[in-house]
Amino acid sequence: MPALAEEQPEGSAKAQAPTSDVVTVPIGYLKQEVERPIPLSRLHVEPEDYGIAGAQMALKDNNTTGRFTKQDFTLDVERVPIGGDAVAALQKLVDSGHHFILVDAPAETLLELSDSVKGQDVLLFNVRAEDEELRQEECRANVLHTAPDRYMLADALAQYLVWKKWQRWLVVKGVFPEDIAYLEAIRRAAKRFGGTIVEEREYKETPGARRSDTGELQIQQQMPVFTQGAPSYDVVVVADEKEVFGPYLPFRTWDPRPVAGTAGLIAMSWHPAHEQWGATQMQNRFQRVANRFMWPVDYQAWIAVRAIGEGATRTHSADFAPVNALIRSKDLNLAAFKGQKVTFRSWDGQLRQPIIVAGPDLPVSMSPQQGFLHEEAEVDTLGVDEPETKCKFK
Amino acid sequence: MPRTGSLAIAIVVMGTVSGLAGTALAYTVYVSNEKDNSISVIDSATLEVKHTIPVGQRPRGIILTKDGKSLLVCASDDDTVQILDLATEEITGTLPSGPDPEQLNIHPSGSPVYIANEDDALMTAIDLAQRKVIAEVPVGVEPEGVGVSPDGRILIATSETSNMAHFIDTDTYQIVDNVLVGSRPRYAEFTTDGSQLWVTSEVAGTVSVIDPKTRAIIKTIGFEIPGVRPENMQPVGVRILKDGSKAFVALGPANHVAVIDAKKLEVEQYLLVGQRVWQLAFTPDEKLLFTTNGNSNDVSVIDVPTLKVIKSMPVGGAPWGVAISKN
């Protein structure tokens, strides 16, 4: 007699997989808490389970597959408080048998973690840090990056702007090191793809407190004045990673021009309204698991856990060596809702992936753009390509 | 032009067409237009769109019932499968498909109907006459392609994120095996003699030809077209001639249909069609093959004996599925 799933909630498939020979693949997740300034928009407050929810959904995906391959994936999360000992937390995960560990931490912490397990059977996935150095001079053999770096993001945006023939950029920049890093990525992208920076303008002031009752009025005055008197340009490109002033620019510039960069039109690995290539299902699944929208770090954690799942499924193994080798190989073949398979670059461990270029409500495009050619794979026009890499794995 | 009867022979009138296609039986071709919420109705003899039928939201997979009287339409955004009566061209009912139905298939006896529920990791079997769910089978993540063996004993679900072809016994609704294939398997099709199962993998860019008895992969076929980016080689729909001589595979954004020698399992040639070609269907006499081209909003018609693309015709927005009636 056919059985309805309602009668057997976990389904007959589970019963078919004898529990005796099920292999467990433990996955670790280390999150270093950091102080984050309150974002300008209430919509951008970081969820408590940011990233972790993506890993949890991928775990569900892996285990649905694992029912058939007799593999059981587990996820153990270590949250390290501000000022806490991240290295000790990592050691705890390693000691309890975790070979594959996602890390959500600033670059300097990630490097400490990487060095602390050097030479061991441990693979770390950087799901957050966009710093270029981690893929270049400071690259590490035991780290793969599912987070795109700033060069990839800037290149993705620049390709779209050039495709749109908005080639003259008024760059406005903040004063923080992250802003300077993003600015350098924008300068590099302009050179690579034919953008012209007509002027770089620094924003030094702190805008009027938006939460005070007349704060918005001041901003309405400040932003036009700040962008007044620029040479002719097509688009404002803003480098303000900490959201000090960037989100105030759209609709307030002196000249009627679009805003792109860290505000307005933004390059990102994932957008909650992305629905191409079957992404609708991914968004629906995530919203059911997390009761909120999916954002880039969620996606970057999802990919990392899925890569581990693919590694284990394809090699029929939970052992470090074969799974690690498969994840790094061209055979990874990971479907990631971007219209093409994603793999890790052999020269720096960076995940090569198309990048979404999105406005606040909807994706506008996906880079690489048509016409930016590459001998091997067009997606390698984003970020640092093999001939230019400074990475020598340590 | 008036619709010709099912057995009448119509001379194809279009200049270049007539020389290639010669005479053709008049069949009715149904194409689902994902963006327009409609079905385009095409006469296979005149190769003209006759008219358009409004249906539910985001129609994708479509299939004719075995009695030829109805067309089942996955109205994905309405979370239902609609039953379109072909005589009256009216929706006469729905099937309780569960959320977001995309592809479906039918047991050779005419019922049940098998529907992949992408959102729920379930394969649902529905009794067509009673319009009731009779079984739900938990499968891998994002089930999509639905294949049925010619003897009706084995049901296949392909799961896009688990990357598997699940073999399901249609009597017990138990999974008997799972075959790992290339990533994002989209479509499953048996050869008429049941000796092979073809599964397309969209992201891997391959077709896995599987022996259904041993469940071993006989061959994985890849694709290469000069001037087409390898990542655009995204096989989706597949159709195999009844005599097992040739298979046709829609290559998505590569904008080509691959013609495969199904005996040697080697690609013979590539035919340029419209943009983002997804699904295919033969006319019952296997003289013509229709392709749905989602990004150019048209349908290409391939003359099967000569392997020439003889016509493309605009249909509605984002054509997705295609089914061809004997009538």
Mind listing the pLDDT tens digit for each residue in B16-40?
444 444 456 799 999 999 999 999 9
Mind listing the pLDDT tens digit for each residue in A189-208?
999 999 999 999 999 866 55
**Residue of B123, B202, B217, B218 lying closest to B161 (CA atoms):** B202
**Residue of A139, A145, A149, A124 lying closest to A393 (CA atoms):** A139
**Residue B24 has what pLDDT?**
60
Phi, psi of B156 (to 5 degrees): -115, 135
3-state secondary structure of B15: helix
**Residue of A170, A134, A371, A349 lying closest to A257 (CA atoms):** A170
- pLDDT band at B151, cuts 50/70/90? very high
Residues in chain A with CB shorter than 8 Å from the CB of B229 are 378
What's the predicted TM-score (pTM) here? 0.85
- The CA-based angle B100-B104-B106, given to 5 degrees, is 150
> Average per-residue pLDDT in chain B?
92
Nearest residue in chain B measured CA to CA from A330: B204
Mind listing the pLDDT tens digit for each residue in A49-70?
999 999 999 999 999 999 999 9
Give the helix/strand (H/E) hosting B17.
helix B15-21
> What are the tokens at B12?
């194809």
Of A254-263, A277-286, B246-255, B281-290, the one with minimum mean pLDDT is: A277-286
What's the DSSP call for residue B16? H
Amino acid letter, residue B171: D
Cβ pair B122:A5 closer than 8 A: yes
**Residue A216 has what pLDDT?**
67
**Residue of A354, A243, A390, A3 lying closest to B124 (CA atoms):** A3
Residues of A with CB under 8 A from a CB of B: 2-6, 10-14, 16, 61, 64-65, 67-69, 278, 280-281, 284-285, 306, 310, 313-314, 333-335, 339-341, 377-379
In this model, does residue B238 exceed pLDDT 60?
Answer: yes
In this model, does residue A180 exceed pLDDT 90?
Answer: yes
How would you list the strands of the sheet with B175-180, edge to edge? B143-148, B154-159, B164-169, B175-180
3-state secondary structure of B58: coil
What burial letters (b/e) apply to A145-179, b meaning 16+ CB within 10 Å? bbbbbbbbbbbbbbbbbbbbebbbbbbbbbeeebb
CB nearest to A377's CB, from B119, B184, B231: B231
Residues in chain B with CB shorter than 8 Å from the CB of A4 are 133, 135-136
Highest mean pLDDT among A329-343, A362-376, B110-124, B247-261: B247-261
- pLDDT band at B257, cuts 50/70/90? very high
CB A148 within 8 A of CB A351: yes
Cβ pair A6:B184 closer than 8 A: no
What percentage of chain B exceeds 70 in pLDDT?
93
Residues in chain B with CB shorter than 8 Å from the CB of A5 are 122, 136-138
In this model, does residue A213 exceed pLDDT 80?
Answer: no
- pLDDT band at A41, cuts 50/70/90? confident
Cβ pair B161:A65 closer than 8 A: yes
Strands B154-159 and B101-106: unpaired
Q: How far is B175 from chain A (nearest CA, A)?
A: 7
3-state secondary structure of B123: strand
Mind listing the pLDDT tens digit for each residue in B275-317?
999 999 999 999 999 999 999 999 999 999 999 999 999 999 9
Give the number of other Cβ atoms within 10 Å of residue A113's Cβ: 26
Residues in chain A with CB shorter than 8 Å from the CB of B231 are 339-341, 377-379
| ipTM rounded to 2 decimals | 0.76
3-state secondary structure chain A: CCCCCCCCCCHHHHHHCCHHHCEEEEEEEEEECCCCCCCCCHHHCCCCCCCHHHHHHHHHHHHHHHHHHCEEEEEEEEEECCCCCHHHHHHHHHHCCCCEEEEECCHHHHHHHHHHCCCCCCEEEECCCCCHHHHCCCCCCCEEECCCCHHHHHHHHHHHHHHCCCCEEEEEECCCHHHHHHHHHHHHHHHHHCCEEEEEEECCCCCCCCCCCCHHHHHHHHHHHHCCCCCCCCEEEEECCCCCCHHHCCCCCCCCCCEEECCCEEEECCCCCCCHHHHHHHHHHHHHHHCCCCCHHHHHHHHHHHHHHHHHHHHCCCCHHHHHHHHHCHHHCEECCCCCEEEECCCCCEEECCEEEECCCCEEEEECCCCCCCCCCHHHHCCCCHHHCCCCCC
Residues of B with CB under 8 A from a CB of A: 100, 118-119, 121-122, 125, 133-142, 159-164, 166, 172-175, 178, 180, 182-184, 202-205, 229-231, 234, 253
In this model, does residue A2 exceed pLDDT 60?
Answer: no
Q: How far is B123 from chain A (nearest CA, A)?
A: 10
Q: How far is A13 from chain B (nearest CA, A)?
A: 7
Alpha-helical regions (H) of B144-274: none
Mind listing the pLDDT tens digit for each residue in B36-65?
999 999 999 999 999 999 999 999 999 999
**Residue A394 has what pLDDT?**
74
Instruction: Kindly state the average pLDDT of the residues A78-100.
Output: 97
**Residue A15 has what pLDDT?**
38
**Residue A254 has what pLDDT?**
96
